[in-house]
Structure 1
Amino acid sequence: MPKIILDTDPGIDDAQAIAFAIAHPDIELLGLTTVFGNAEIEITTRNALHILDVFGQPQVPVAQGASDPLHQTRYPAPDFVHGTDGLGNIHITQPSSAPVSESAAEFIVRMASENPGEITLVAIGPLTNIAHAVSLDPSLPAKVKSLVVMGGSVAHPGNVTPLAEANFFNDPHAADAVFAHDWPATIIGLDVTLQTVLRDQDLAMIRDAAGRAGKFLWDTSRFYIDFYASRLARLGSTDRSCAMHDASALVYTVLPDAFQLIAGPTRVINDGIAAGQLSVDTQQEPYVLPAWTDRPLTSAAIGVDAPRVLDTFLSAITNHSFN
């Protein structure tokens, strides 16, 4: 059973991922660590605590993390995607609990030391907390079972620039620093997450089967679905659906054979017009520039059995009794 720490910036699709982590019988959720991204850090932390309340798991610890990128100025939160409250403008109540006193990086380092070789870190926001944690304890990559990252794109165009996916774009220096270390690391990026789609009828099924949690996922998804529908309408589609970005990374932890991977030394471009671009050197040729030389191998997903991933997600959510 994977023991998981979920590094998250809730976020509508983050809420879907948290629901799956709670619902799947083969996942033990040890804690949430929060980061800026889909909203400012105070909002993402509040959202994480509130989500745990709604899903009947207020005892799961939440550690607040980075409010800003490592080096660059933080970009404005994408309130046109997730709403000003990060959860589709549903006007949530104050949570019943508070974050723990440790920072996200301290929490990750302590838990990895207490559970050597057992924890899978799943990062579904900017990688700032992970970069801080490995800076705090350079032996961290050897202490975790694996690192799974929702971010980047190998071949598909980006979603914030033609080259960059949002999580890597929001802190490219952190992403590049993280992949300089020798983790057992896998990237689940836009190449596969855009193939795994939640339709309105799927979300309605969750609403009708999963009690208060299901209604919450339905309510928060309205803003998100409207955003995707507006983009699809420009392409002449009337479809109402959304990509299952963050939850796909969680599904990978229990269903890795549904994903096709490549591997190679990995960089994330730090600045300029290509800032946030993922580059995986699958050829490992002696190139003129040595930027990929002596970097460890990182795996990245380029293919997915999307129906299996979707079915695994829906089955876990609709069959779980959220208290």
Structure 2
Amino acid sequence: MAEKIIFDTDPGIDDAMALLFAHAHPNIKLHAITTVYGNGVISDCTRNACFINAKFAIGAVVAEGASGPLQRPANGPTICVHGQHALGDVQAPLDTPIEIDSRPAYQYICDEVKANSGEITLVAIGPLTNIALALQHDPDIVNHVKQVVIMGGAFGSDGNFGNVAPFAEANIHDDPDAADQVFTADWPVTIIGLDVTHKAFFSGDYLEQLRHSAGEAGEFIWQVSRHYLKFYSERFGKDGCHVHDPSAVAFVADPTLFGTRSGPVRVVNSGPMIGMTVQKTDSLPYYDDEFSHFRSQEVAITVDDQRLLAIYRDSINLLAD
């Protein structure tokens, strides 16, 4: 049976890549898309979600979410990475119909996970504000969500500590307070962070091949990736990009792609290391311990990157049929 997901996203170039992956993969049923600020302002992110939803006949419900963090000013869109309106050189038409559910995203999430108890996985690939707001609105949802899969964080494996700050990944850095609430809630969370997303790579040649094999979806992925690859080339001297957001979808589709480790996770929410994610991996008790009374969560630390690339390619190619 396909995994039913609510996809919380700030589209976003790699978000768009991940959204089409979730739509295409036979093991995933895309129940809804909830939008959040992050790679763009909320109006752009919602328009982009509606545009992709309609363009590829995804048929998902869209619900608009938070326009900023729980309790601090927004960091602002990452224009240098994702472009002026978050889809690189592609712009969703300004007259794109904004067909969205009347409920805010947090309310939609609460209502749907309780109406489908034990069936829905929350996949969040942007700032975690919507998920934290849902927890605040109805803490009982922890008993109804099947699992939570996050793209975010960095735990230092193989030197991967951060991408927008020395010790912080962008999604967590955007709202560290929300992330800490999500990671310490009493539900199962798997965190797909830079420790694994930096180990998988969409090369320029890979994206070019996808352009020619996957029809309109391949062409769209190639077009939105132009701005992204320009950033990677100028910043890192690489022809291609890391597989960030699609990796969270890959975990839902096939968890055997990843190796994880267990332990409670906290997020630093002040000072020069704000947004840093830390996992306690031992079982020792400590006199001063703000970890051990929270449940263990799973952090991905290894990935079969070549199999992930093959699964992504094969899934997107299905959209050409």
| Short-chain TM bin | over 0.9
Give the letter aligned to residue 196 of structure 1: A
Name 1:73's counterpart in structure 2: 73
CA contact (8 A) 1:117 1:143 kept: yes
CA distance in 2, matches of 1:140, 1:92: 34
SS class of match (1:112): helix
CA contact (8 A) 2:183 2:297 kept: yes
Question: How much does 1:183 deviate?
Answer: 1.0
SS class of match (1:179): helix
- Give the TM-score normalised by the residue count of structure 1: 0.95
CA contact (8 A) 1:182 1:297 kept: no
Name 1:170's counterpart in structure 2: 174
Deviations for 1:184-225, whole angstroms, at most 9, x for unmatched residues? 110000000011111112111221122222211111000001
SS class of match (2:130): helix
CA contact (8 A) 2:47 2:98 kept: no
Name 2:313's counterpart in structure 1: 314
Name 1:193's counterpart in structure 2: 197
- Give the TM-score normalised by the residue count of structure 2: 0.96
CA distance in 1, matches of 2:46, 2:105: 11
CA distance in 2, matches of 1:317, 1:157: 30
Give the letter aligned to residue 80 of structure 1: C
Name 2:183's counterpart in structure 1: 179
CA distance in 2, matches of 1:68, 1:200: 33
SS class of match (2:172): helix
RMSD: 1.2
CA distance in 2, matches of 1:153, 1:163: 8
Structure 2: runs of 5+ lacking an equivalent: none
CA distance in 2, matches of 1:44, 1:97: 11
Question: How much does 1:316 deviate?
Answer: 0.3
Give the letter aligned to residue 43 of structure 2: E
Question: How much does 1:288 deviate?
Answer: 4.1
Percent of aligned positions with the same letter in both sequences? 43
SS class of match (2:264): strand
CA distance in 2, matches of 1:180, 1:97: 34
Question: How much does 1:174 deviate?
Answer: 0.1
Name 2:232's counterpart in structure 1: 228
CA contact (8 A) 1:208 1:215 kept: yes
Give the letter aligned to residue 219 of structure 2: K
Deviations for 1:39-94, whole angstroms, at most 9, x for unmatched residues? 1111100010011122222x311100000101111012110000011000323213
CA distance in 1, matches of 2:131, 2:92: 28
CA contact (8 A) 1:54 1:213 kept: no
CA contact (8 A) 1:53 1:95 kept: no
Structure 1: runs of 5+ lacking an equivalent: 234-238
Deviations for 1:219-247, whole angstroms, at most 9, x for unmatched residues? 100000110111222xxxxx311011000
Name 1:236's counterpart in structure 2: none
Name 1:160's counterpart in structure 2: 164
Name 2:288's counterpart in structure 1: 289
Give the letter aligned to residue 101 of structure 2: V
CA distance in 2, matches of 1:307, 1:293: 36
Question: How much does 1:293 deviate?
Answer: 2.9
Question: How much does 1:97 deviate?
Answer: 4.2
Name 1:129's counterpart in structure 2: 130
CA contact (8 A) 2:65 2:130 kept: yes
Give the letter aligned to residue 114 of structure 2: S
CA distance in 1, matches of 2:253, 2:25: 9
SS class of match (2:139): coil
SS class of match (1:272): coil
Name 2:142's counterpart in structure 1: 141
Name 1:241's counterpart in structure 2: 240
SS class of match (2:300): strand
CA distance in 2, matches of 1:244, 1:272: 29
CA distance in 2, matches of 1:116, 1:92: 35
Give the letter aligned to residue 197 of structure 2: T
Give the letter aligned to residue 16 of structure 1: M
SS class of match (2:180): helix
CA distance in 2, matches of 1:251, 1:161: 26
- Confirm whether residue 32 of structure 1 aligns to residue 36 of structure 2: no
CA contact (8 A) 2:47 2:92 kept: no
Deviations for 1:146-186, whole angstroms, at most 9, x for unmatched residues? 10000001111200111000000000000001112111110
Name 1:52's counterpart in structure 2: 53
CA contact (8 A) 2:217 2:319 kept: no
Give the letter aligned to residue 318 of structure 2: N
CA contact (8 A) 1:210 1:320 kept: yes
Number of residues of Structure 1 aligned to a counterpart in Structure 2: 316
